[in-house]
Amino acid sequence: MGKEKKKGTEQEKRTAAEAAEDALKEALEGSMHEAAEEMKEETLPENPAEAEDHSLERQLEEANAKTAEYLAMAQRVQADFENYRKRNESIRADAFADGRKDVAAVMLPVLDNLERAVEAAAGCPDEALKNGVELVLRQMTEAYQKLGVTPIDRKGEKFDPNLENAVLQGTEDEGEPGTVCQVLQKGYRMGEKVLRHAMVKVVPE
């Protein structure tokens, strides 16, 4: 009886030891599993989908920056080209106006001689010759009108050195002081530009 009791006690001890050992194993396994999970969380990279999203965002930002840079560059080029085009148009317009002005100025002596010819033919018995010269003068005058050329003939008006050259001095009985009393040769201008100053006689002030 004593041996059986002793044997039972030993069996209980072994069972308790085995239970403690199993509990220890379970605890160790649980701790190792938790440590492994923590190490896994620390060492594993980000979610691949999130990493791809971040990469796409960076690429989009870079593309937007490049687009803004190219847009600014294109706007600068367009502005430079527009300024270049305007300068060329202005240069062409000025060159055309200067060329037309020069041609009109060169032809003024021809107009003067046609006017003299008409005056000389006033008493000519040859009506055909007279009418022919008058026709040429009329056509010449019309051509100048189309070009915007107008005569400077300001008899009786205040002398203007910007439009006239005073070549003779008149007397007090020829008009008001400082006015043009006689036009010796008509001047002409095209718009605001003077082609030829009028030669005038001025009453002294």
Q: Report the CATH number that the domain containing residue 193 is assigned in CATH.
A: 2.30.22.10
Q: Judge whether 204 lies within some domain.
A: yes
Residue 184 sits in which domain range? 151-205
Q: Judge whether 165 lies within some domain.
A: yes
Which value, in Å, is the radius of gyration of the alpha carbons in the chain? 55
* Local confidence pLDDT in tens for the 205 residues of the chain: 444 444 445 555 556 556 656 665 665 555 555 555 555 454 444 566 666 667 888 888 888 888 888 888 889 988 898 898 888 888 888 888 888 899 999 999 999 999 999 988 887 788 888 899 999 999 999 999 999 999 998 999 999 999 999 999 999 889 899 999 999 999 999 988 999 999 999 999 8
Q: Judge whether 90 lies within some domain.
A: no
Q: Judge whether 88 lies within some domain.
A: no
Q: Judge whether 184 lies within some domain.
A: yes
Roughly how many angstroms between the first and final C-alpha of the chain, as a whole number?
167
Please tell me the total count of domains within the chain: 1
Q: Judge whether 121 lies within some domain.
A: no
